Chains A and B, each alone.
Chain A
Amino acid sequence: MTKSNKILLIGNAKKAFGISPKDLNGVTVCDSVLIGIEQTQKIQFHEIFIVLSSISGQIQQALQTLRQSNPRARLTLLAQMLEEPLAMGLVRNDGAGRPLADDYQICPILPETIFTISTQRPAEPLTSEKELEYQKRIRQLEMLATEDDLTGLKNRRYLNQFLAQILSLARQYHFQVTLLLFDIDNFKQYNDLFGHAVGDDVLIQVGKMIRHCCRGHDVVSRMGGDEFAVVFWDLPEKQRPAEEKEEKAIERRKADRKHPRETLFMAERFRNEIAAAKFPLLGPSGQGKLTISGGLASFPTDGKTAKALIARADEAMLEAKRQGKNQIVIIGEKNNSSPQPLLDTAAGSMPALEKKQESKTTAKTNQKEKRKKPASSATRIKSASTAGRKKKL
């Protein structure tokens, strides 16, 4: 198997790879699945990649037809984050012979990846039971390695890998990536008061809510404990000229700042949903008790590497805590969202907790303020990544 394998890509290449089909040299690209089926009648392909969202009708029927037309080709689905369960189901062998697809990849993927996949694969499709079982085990291990056990969201390892990958694409094709880091305010106290099982249920519910508030392609992960992260990314509307004048560059930098503000709306929507949500396990008036604090940082303005971006978003999250919690802060911009009064605070189902957390927060904020005054921005990042992790606000 060499790079000269006959490869067919069905679907919007720009959506899958963030690039024009012209850049996929040697790959036959079809916009729709019907045209793809037509192509498979004329050419026997070795590798068929299908952008899952390009099939608007019956996915199973379309895949069956592709299989029948090109029985020796390997079918790889290109799915978005939200489509992963569907892709997994299509790849899973149900015991009734060959699965509808052989593999799936989560978009965006680097264009080179499809050539790598193509060259690494055996020429013959895996058909024996033993091989299929082996493939199933590999997939299970992949899942264990990339998913958070409790919430079903992606885990920290996956987020780090994805962030590095998407930033590499963003550098190449000049698009915006924004990272949101947030945690649940006073989560430790909830855990202490209601028990860890309730705490886990809250984390699961919060995970579902954030997933619901984000777009299909945004990557949502649980970083650990009560800390979550979302990677928002958007492809460029138009290519930028290679050289630009200073005024244009200023305009561009202003435009770049639009991205975190746009994602702020999504984050804000989520914050409001959480604030209004009922958490029955948190006592009779659980509604309005839970709040989050979050920080947003964007590529390339705030950081150019995954590590830098995480550090900047973390810094913004700490700033949100310092400003009184229950808010989202864009790094470098103060008072992005004002804290809103908690719902039903007068009812006070957890006065002890509120008093406890109030006194703790004040004391810790004072301590932090004292510590931070002489510190530089860089020091703050350091403290956030070390001490900040252990001593949660």
Chain B
Amino acid sequence: MKSQQIGIILIIDGSDDFLWSDISPIFDGLMGICERCGHLYEAISILSGTPEGTPVTIAGMAYEFMKETGSFFAFLNKYPNLFCIALDPVGRDYPYPLRQAIWHGQFLVCRSKEDLLHALLWTVENSCQRTILSPQTKGPKPLERSEYQLSQEEMDALFNPLIADDEVQ
């Protein structure tokens, strides 16, 4: 029952055991909600098999989320209960669809492994709170999304303020 309330956390870790060894001890007490996946496609497969409305968090290296950028964003739109946490130590330049997802708060970028662990813990806590606060007992409230869509220029100004300033000058 508990896992139904909190949802599922999918860790994309492949075979390199980069994230899993750090994450699994933390979620030891929440057995069954945290699952390890080999890649994005496997995560999507598991996500598609979950009951409708289940909050799903996918955490992994940033490049995993960029494998199918355009269609992945369509997926984020389709599943408002999907939340992604990407570990990006190099600070990638994200394509427009993923920037939209960052703007909507559905895609979080962390610079370090520690940040990612904090974000995961926050997600679990937040998910529990949302479940408790939700007026419907059936399930948790979906993530609140801003309806406002940013244009490409606005995105550039938001994500690359220095470049945007240079262009103005």
Contacts and interface: CB of A to CB of B under 8 A. Distances in A.
A64 interface: yes
Contacts of B75: 34-35, 38
B44 A38 contact: yes
Interface string B43-58: 0110111000000000
B41 A64 contact: yes
A38 B71 CA distance: 12
Interface string B63-99: 0001111111011000000000000000000000000
Given A38-B48, A61-B38, A32 B67 contact: no
Contact of A37 (B38, B44, B69, B74): B44
Contacts of A62: 41
Interface string A59-71: 0011011001100
Contact of A56 (B38, B39, B42, B69): B69
Given A32-B74, A61-B38, A61-B39, A37 B45 contact: yes
Interface in B146-168: none
Nearest to A65: B41
A64 to B, nearest CB: 7
B69 A34 contact: no
A42 B48 contact: yes
A58 B39 contact: yes
B42 to A, nearest CB: 6
B110 interface: no
Nearest to B50: A41
User: What's the interface size class on B, roughly?
Assistant: 10 to 19
A41 B48 contact: yes
Given A33-B41, A58-B39, A65-B41, A41 B68 contact: no
Interface in A19-68: 31-35, 37-38, 40-42, 55-58, 61-62, 64-65, 68
Contacts of B38: 61
Contact of B42 (A38, A40, A55, A65): A65
Q: Which of B40, B47, B71, B72 has the most CB of A within 10 A?
A: B71
B166 to A, nearest CB: 31
Contacts of B72: 34
Contacts of B41: 33-34, 37, 57-58, 61-62, 64-65
Q: Which of B47, B48, B49 has the most CB of A within 10 A?
A: B48
A65 B70 CA distance: 19
Contact of B68 (A32, A42, A68): A32
Contacts of A33: 41, 68, 71
Nearest to B47: A38
Given A56-B68, A57-B67, A34 B39 contact: no
A34 B68 contact: yes
Contacts of B70: 32, 56
Q: 6 tightest CB-CB pairs across the interface, nearest first?
A: A57-B67, A32-B71, A41-B48, A65-B41, A38-B48, A61-B39
18 contacts: A34-B44, A34-B68, A34-B71, A34-B75, A37-B41, A41-B49, A42-B48, A55-B68, A56-B68, A57-B41, A57-B66, A57-B67, A61-B38, A61-B39, A62-B41, A65-B41, A65-B42, A69-B45
